[in-house]
Chains A and B, each alone.
Chain A
Amino acid sequence: MSSLSATIQDVFNEPGCGKNAGKSEAERKKGCTKQLQPGGAAGGCAFDGAKVALQPLTDVAHLVHGPIACEGNSWDNRGARSSGSDLWRTGFTTDINETDVVFGGEKRLFKSIKEIIEKYDPPAVFVYQTCVPAMTGDDINAVCKAASQKFNKPVIPVNSPGFVGPKNLGNKLAGEALLEHVIGTEEPDFTTPYDINIIGEYNLVGELWQVKPLLDELGIRILSCISGDGRYREVAYSHRARAAMMVCSKAMINVARQMEERYGIPFFEGSFYGIEDTSDSLREIARLLIERGAPDELMDRTEALIAREEARAWAAIEPYKPRFAGKKVLLITGGVKSWSVVAALQEAGLELVGTSVKKSTKEDKERIKELMGQDAHLIEDMTPREMYKMLKDARADIMLSGGKSQFVALKAAMPWLDINQERNHAYMGYVGMVKLVEEIDKSLYNPMWEQLRRPAPWDEAGNSWQAKATAQNDAEAAVLAADPVRAETTRRARKICFCKSVDLGTIEDAIAAHGLTTVDSVRERTNASGGCQACTGRITDILAARPRPAAPPPLLDAAE
């Protein structure tokens, strides 16, 4: 276990992470995630994160060493796609029983590996550690080593039991397993000056294939994608790539950075979501390859392709503009990707609400990312009634989000589009962006909404749940207005800046007392937004809210 905790500490020390670089030694030691709150936590565990990151490797047998819960409750539930083997969708687990808990499960694990190799003969077996055998002391590293020697086949331990932390830690621990045991262990048949790695892309709904044809056309070869539609051997020889793109999530930053350190493979952070981001990423790939020795003409061909594809995409989006005029989108996501579609949605004529960002310069995008990341956490914490209030106040026509917020949106008869990993449509690259616009249009103009917003003919007005929720929210507000003591407590209880722990009351008092007008001055007085700065938007809203604007008209006119 000591080596596992050392690995975790290493992951926390990741120098490639911009956020990490700004932290003190002590803060870094604490790691990149806040303490999980019993009774108030959402999201997966470290095992989940490791599995998510590696499972898209299609020809590998993914064996989960643990009780039935870890694999039985979760297998074949990911939307990645394969152009080859289906083995990755086969659920393998030791399904340990009481005897294994008492006497150890190492023998069962070894036998399981043997059975898998005999029956399925995969190029490699990945063995995932889980909480129970980690507690009882099963040494999966030793078992994997023995099995690997015995069967002459890579058997890779992935040491990321659920209780060591949340999902994103598991992503990184999965990366560590690849770095330690896989990358650099084989050689490709041949190399070209156009070989790249794509790191942290899972090929959900097959969306990598929305971009791959463009790379094919440019003669750029994806030597290895870690891990979407990937194969074991490709990862093993990925150290021979000329350049790498780290898809815009920090999930596998440790892989990208260490491959740069060890093998001199330069990488950039990019995204294929959104038109401009796709173009930027293609340019960046070409630039890095040229830097590493590819001929200069690659850039000319890339620019020509970008010009052609952008023109086609904008032309395809053009007809939607009049239909989108005046329509508002509420974009909320904990996901790291969807913020980069903002520009394209704006270009299509949609107005974004829920963020105060109007343009999309690079800095603004960073801000949107921060804002949405933070807001998504807040939304997970909201009660459905509060969430409904937010939808109503935002006066949006459609909501784009992931996670459980969808059920409230849909039950509020609010058009909603899935942009999380369980979505049914692929939204990458130029074709994907046009698809997204198409889907938004389909949803907005579905005639169903009008019918669903009508109350049943026998329902009394004001008896709908929407009316009740509004009444309850109003009643709470009225109680607060009538009871200054409680209002004060509530104001003091509402945390605005989570890093520095500053509440609404403190900020409002400072603004009133000193006539503050800017976020900077608020920071000076109260320390709010002195940390990750994700609360900047909320402070801007507080500043803007003085004096209070009139209440916005209700969203669900038809229902009320």
Chain B
Amino acid sequence: MATVTHSKKACAVNPLKMSQPIGGAFAFLGLRGAMPLLHGSQGCTSFGLTLFVRHFKEAVPLQTTAMSEVATVLGGYENVEQAILNIHTRTKPEIIGICSTGVTETKGDDVEGYLRLIRGKHPQLARFPMVYVSTPDFKDAFQDGWEKTVARLVEELVEAPAAGAERDPARVNVLPGCHLTPGDIEELRTMMEDFGLVPSFLPDLGGSLDGHIPDEFTPTTIGGIGVDEIAAMGRASWTIAIGAQMRRAAEALEKKAGTPFRVFERLCGLLPNDAFISFLSEISGRPVPLKYRRQRGQLADAMLDAHFHIGGRKLAIGAEPDLLFDLSSLLHDLGAKVAVAVTTTSSPVLERIMTDDVLIGDLEDLETLAKQRGCDLMITHSHGRQAADRLKIPFYRAGFPMFDRLGAGHQLSVGYRGTRDLIFDIANLVIADHEANRQPTPETWRDGLKPPSPGEAVHIH
């Protein structure tokens, strides 16, 4: 059981955290024909946009209410109204998703109230789907923005089924956390379809940000779940939530439509996938297809091959809570020691991370502790590159953003197959590091056994 502590520093150095509104916007990006809109100054949008574009290498729709200093002080009603009207006429979206930012929350803009006024004033918008989420930058983190937005989408858009209406036994709702990639979503879709299930993903980044060339170019998202499909989610027989962050949305769906749910906190690793596949078999009433029996064997074999390299490694990992929990648990299962764990925001999973302490902090903390504790493997998003360089230890990029390597959208961590490939990737990094930097020389063992130098703790586990 890990203790969770907060960094005591006044100044965050090399932030691990990204802001809540762009986590919210990210969720809207998994909706078809969507235009996310940040209510703030135009920099709030442009920084987020740059992050998404560099991560996915795709055009990404994201707009701003372009608040000026004066507008901020006077209140942003007119900017919100104008922005919605402009977006509605120029880009013809199917839904506009609005997130607040620090600057408009400081003023205290009542955006829900604005939306009511706008709907009343402009008949074309009276029933047009617009969802607002309050996401001040000065609270919480990226993952929280996603969590709140998906919950709001459920509350606003899912329709309660008519009393006595039958549920469709094949239909299953899937609420994926923001740590899953478009590639992960596609993998899950295939797995579920192999059991004859018909999944609806909310949000569905697999449809919008997988890099496909669309049939038609639109200035909004080029795929994802449609508003009509979200409305129909109340008729599904089950909801599967992936990551603890999605419990809130799953509960909202249960409350609204009575749909039972199950949360899978992890989908990376042998046992989590055993549980998941068994569940799919159970709810579909079908036996596990041969394909997955074979894949399970392949994953077991990958674990056998990789444990020589990963076992005993001292891991320093920095990630948002659900990704942190998933990846650190996997490596722990393979014999690595989770020596340093840094995260961005609170979560019920943190105390179950297989380490002594989890720090809500930044990448400077990660680097300092990794050095102190002699870590020899680092996992975090691309911003860890400087720290890994200085520490000269193998560095596996995971999470958002990943701007300095290709294929971020297709990196897999779910399923037997995804876990298998992830294990190979990490083990190969360790092997390459060994070959390049840790070859023995006649001097390596010259001094024999040394007493531990002061300040250097000896870890045996």
Chain A residues with a Cβ under 8 A of chain B: 36-48, 63, 66-77, 86, 89-98, 100-101, 108, 111-116, 119, 131-132, 134-136, 161-166, 383-385, 388, 404, 407-408, 411, 422, 465, 468-469, 472
Contacts and interface: CB of A to CB of B under 8 A. Distances in A.
B65 A94 contact: no
Nearest to B218: A384
B106 A136 contact: yes
A384 B101 contact: no
B41 interface: yes
Given A71-B15, A90-B14, A112-B10, A45 B42 contact: yes
A94 B12 CA distance: 6
B402 interface: no
A73 B51 contact: yes
A404 B44 CA distance: 18
Contact of B15 (A91, A111, A135, A385): A91
Contacts of B17: 68, 72, 95
B32 to A, nearest CB: 16
A4 to B, nearest CB: 9
Contact of A135 (B10, B107, B219): B107
B449 interface: no
Contacts of A95: 11-12, 15, 17
B103 interface: yes
B325 interface: no
A469 B216 contact: yes
Interface in B141-165: 141
A408 B85 CA distance: 25
Which among B15, B101, B214, B219 has the highest number of chain A CB atoms within 10 Å? B15
Contact of A40 (B68, B90, B215, B383): B90
Interface of B: 9-15, 17-19, 21-22, 37, 40-48, 50-51, 53-54, 58-59, 63-69, 71-73, 78-80, 82-87, 90-91, 101-103, 106-107, 136-139, 141, 213-219, 383, 386, 403
18 contacts: A38-B66, A38-B83, A39-B66, A39-B83, A39-B85, A40-B90, A44-B46, A45-B44, A68-B141, A69-B18, A72-B12, A73-B18, A108-B10, A112-B11, A116-B11, A162-B41, A163-B68, A408-B217
Given A135-B106, A162-B44, 14 more contacts: A38-B65, A39-B85, A39-B86, A43-B46, A69-B21, A69-B48, A69-B137, A72-B17, A73-B48, A93-B12, A96-B138, A115-B10, A131-B72, A404-B59
B41 A132 contact: no
A158 B304 CA distance: 56
Nearest to B76: A38
A68 B137 contact: yes
Given A37-B82, A39-B37, A164 B69 contact: yes
Given A77-B54, A96-B138, A40 B86 contact: yes
A115 B8 CA distance: 11
User: Which A-B residue pairs are the 3 nearest by beta carbons?
Assistant: A45-B43, A39-B83, A112-B11
Contacts of A69: 18-19, 21-22, 44, 47-48, 101-102, 137
B50 A465 contact: no
Given A95-B17, A135-B103, A407 B58 contact: yes
Given A70-B47, A161-B69, A408 B59 contact: yes
B364 to A, nearest CB: 8
B277 to A, nearest CB: 33
A52 to B, nearest CB: 11
B217 A73 contact: no
B47 A44 contact: yes
Contact of A465 (B10, B69, B213): B213
Which among B47, B50, B59 has the highest number of chain A CB atoms within 10 Å? B47
Given A91-B15, A93-B12, A95-B12, A132 B138 contact: yes
Given A44-B43, A48-B46, A132 B213 contact: no
A94 B11 contact: yes
A465 B217 CA distance: 8
B102 to A, nearest CB: 4
Given A108-B10, A411-B213, A163 B41 contact: yes
Nearest to A100: B138
Contacts of B41: 45, 131, 162-163
Contacts of A44: 42-43, 46-47
Contacts of B58: 407
B10 A94 contact: yes
A46 B45 CA distance: 13
B9 A115 contact: yes
Contacts of B14: 75, 90-91
A465 B222 CA distance: 12
Nearest to A411: B213
A221 B9 CA distance: 42
Which among A91, A112, A114, A385 has the highest number of chain B CB atoms within 10 Å? A91
B42 A166 contact: yes
A39 B11 contact: no
B215 A465 contact: yes
Contacts of A41: 42, 45, 63-64, 66
Which among B10, B21, B383 has the highest number of chain A CB atoms within 10 Å? B10
B213 to A, nearest CB: 5
A407 B50 contact: no
A158 to B, nearest CB: 14
A74 B53 CA distance: 12
Given A36-B66, A68-B12, A465 B216 contact: yes
Nearest to B214: A465
Given A68-B12, A112-B11, A163 B103 contact: yes
Given A39-B83, A40-B90, A93-B11, A66 B102 contact: yes
A45 B214 CA distance: 31
Nearest to B368: A119
Which among B18, B46, B82 has the highest number of chain A CB atoms within 10 Å? B46
Contacts of A45: 41-44, 46
Contact of B219 (A90, A163, A383): A383
A92 B11 contact: yes
A73 B22 contact: yes
B13 A92 contact: yes
Which among B18, B19, B90 has the highest number of chain A CB atoms within 10 Å? B19
Contacts of B64: 38-39, 41
Given A70-B43, A162-B42, A132 B106 contact: yes
Contacts of B216: 385, 465, 468-469, 472
A72 B79 contact: no
B138 A63 contact: no
A39 B44 contact: no
Contacts of A422: 54
Contacts of A469: 216-217
Contacts of A411: 213-214, 217
Contacts of A89: 386
Which among A95, A383, A411 has the highest number of chain B CB atoms within 10 Å? A95
Nearest to A382: B219
A407 B59 contact: yes
B217 A388 contact: yes
